[in-house]
């Protein structure tokens, strides 16, 4: 190959090296951080709660960890008023693969515009999934969409 042909390859090689550099230092880090954060979301579950743990999360309810549940599931308890928006917040039922099975809306039984505890109740209807275990997820209503206002309590359950 002639010297002129090698010189024509230099811009392509430089672009290739820049692309490899950008991928290694930026794109690769973004991908790794994405998977680290998504696995944290699913691995941050609390397997059992004490009354103090729940009060620190500002929610108390009638479902205990590893309780066997059936449909319809009556859920009641009390949560800090900040969990509510327009007197409600969502409660989700997930299977052990974190697939959503059902959603219910917890409704405040009294005035919800307070930071004190507010009683709530709902009924969750669902069809039994293929997995034996799952999670009941109490989710603070977050109309702002800001991550610092997100809060969830995962209760491990067993399907009957």
Domain ranges of the chain: 1-44, 51-159
d(CA 136, CA 91): 7
Higher pLDDT: 17 or 96? It is: 96
- Domain 51-159 is found in CATH 1.20.5: no
Q: Are strands 152-159 and 67-69 parallel, antiparallel or unpaired?
A: parallel
* pLDDT value for 16: 78
* pLDDT value for 78: 92
* pLDDT value for 45: 40
Rounded mean pLDDT of the chain? 79
* pLDDT value for 106: 94
Contacts of 49 (CB under 8 A, 6+ apart): 65, 153, 155
- The first and second tokens of residue 91, run together, are 């409660």
Higher pLDDT: 10 or 116? It is: 116
Using only C-alpha atoms, the chain has a radius of gyration, in whole angstroms, of: 24
pLDDT at 96 over 80: yes
Q: Which of 106, 94, 108 is nearest to 136 (CA)?
A: 94
Q: What is the mean pLDDT of residues 17-33?
A: 61
* pLDDT value for 102: 95
- The first and second tokens of residue 90, run together, are 């969502």
- The first and second tokens of residue 130, run together, are 């293929």
């Amino acid at each position: 190959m002639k010297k002129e042909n090698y010189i024509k390859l230099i811009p392509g090689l430089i672009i290739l090296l820049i692309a490899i550099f950008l991928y290694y230092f930026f794109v690769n880090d973004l991908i790794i951080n994405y998977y680290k954060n998504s696995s944290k979301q699913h691995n941050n579950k609390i397997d059992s709660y004490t009354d103090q743990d729940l009060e620190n999360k500002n929610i108390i309810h009638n479902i205990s960890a590893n309780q066997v549940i059936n449909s319809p599931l009556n859920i009641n308890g009390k949560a800090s008023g900040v969990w509510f928006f327009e007197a409600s917040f969502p409660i989700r039922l997930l299977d052990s693969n974190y697939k959503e099975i059902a959603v219910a809306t917890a409704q405040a039984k009294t005035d919800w515009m307070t930071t004190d505890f507010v009683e709530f109740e709902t009924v969750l209807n669902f069809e039994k999934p293929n997995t034996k275990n799952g999670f009941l997820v109490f989710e603070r209503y977050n109309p702002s969409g800001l991550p610092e206002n997100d809060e969830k309590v995962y209760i491990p359950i067993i399907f009957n």
